[in-house]
Chain A
Amino acid sequence: MIRGQSLPSIHRGAGRYRVEHVSGRVVLYLVITAGAFIFSTPLLWMISTSLKSPELINRIPIVWIPPELRWANYIDPWVEMPFLLFYWNTVFITVTNTAIILITNSLVAFGFARIPFKGRTIIFFVLLATMMLPPQVTMIPTYLFWSRLRLVNTFWPIMAPEWLSAAYDVFLMRQFYMTISTDLDEAARIDGCSWFGIYRHIILPLSKPVIGVLAILNFSFNWNNFITPLIYLNDSRLFPIALGLRLFETQMGGGDTYVRLGPLMAMTLVSIIPLMAAFFIAQRYFIQGIVITGIKG
């Protein structure tokens, strides 16, 4: 079996077993549409709430479309709080981290999946074990480490550890690489191709779906990361948007928080727009670009 060659268009749709009968298709559409409806209601509620004035928010029965759309919910917060700065910080951290992460993790995963070095199994299990300890435990020793280096209240503790690979990503990529046949590697080895050559010319071109998935997962993780910036950043000028939103929420004042729920929901929605954009860019690699098919070799 040799993989990685695109076939004529008739063969597109790898992994699909078609539901042929008409009745089957009707049921299929009914199920996914009903599910989609249920899944999107919380977000629709969020959109609706973001355009409401306070007195409409806890009305029974619910008012889905407010008689008067309150766009001020989307405008006023930008003046109250330096959201623009929060976004600049978030974009800087997220884009840099995601780009570097994809390179280092794919190299590390290649080592674990393809090179039969001594101690590989044990070391890989150690890598899995690092994921099992609650991050709250290593938090204190890790904080001491960064404060020794005098790097607290900088972006370093939020960025540098990410660059040095992440167990989750390595595990996922390894799982993917393990499904690619080794026939090509072995042929390339006999022809004198280096390990890096195999990585660069055989594995990497076949990895677009998993890289696409990891790009979006890492982008979302870094964009939403809350706990690490919370611990290491004191200066609000360095805050990413996740901390900014929390700050905005706590400044809404206690008690009847729903009074300012509209602006909060509006700002929360704005913060997920870049994630949606990133998803649309990344999805073509794992949703439309179905080039990884197999032919009999």
Chain B
Amino acid sequence: MKNQMIKVYKDLMGQNSLWAEKIRLILKESKVTMINLIGSPGCGKTSLLEKMTTLFPGKRDFAVLEGDVETTHDAERLNALGVPVSQLLTSGACHLEAKMVYHALIDLPLPSLKLVIVENVGNLVCPAEFDIGEHAKVAVLSVTEGEDKPVKYPLLFREAKAVVLTKIDLIPHLSFNKDACLNYIKQVNGTVPVFEISSLSGDGVHSLVEWIYSL
């Protein structure tokens, strides 16, 4: 018996990257911007989208792709507000992959849209790994989580084009150290913009929306 080494050098995200490229092509052709919203379960991703809708009642140029492990609850919440929304159920998988997003995307009325927001499955690790052809990953972190999340999950905060700090109206009731949190974000991604928002009062949501539409 003799052994032989076979060189391969094959990208292990190859299949996902192909689908992500297809998505980029469609987005470019239809002049639509796509945002990939990533944060823990319960950090306020859906509430932020609800607030965006109610703050801008005339704006109907965006759609949402709602990623969840189970149930259509989040899609129903947004649908009740008149937002075009498709639910992507992963049935256990902890992130969305490009192939799944592609099929949902082509079912949207793209010619009437300027923006698609993908609300990824609540998780700070896996969704950061998967390119879904988006223009920007946006990391969502709430003040009820630890200040040090950015250094615990560096890939997400490093990849993010913006960080949204949610539930800031709760700060007076918490021991959350905002300066320490902002410093941790800076240590992982020195140039990323941070938007401090409250989906309850609407504080900060305008500037986030302006930033998204400027992409």
**Does A pair with B?**
no
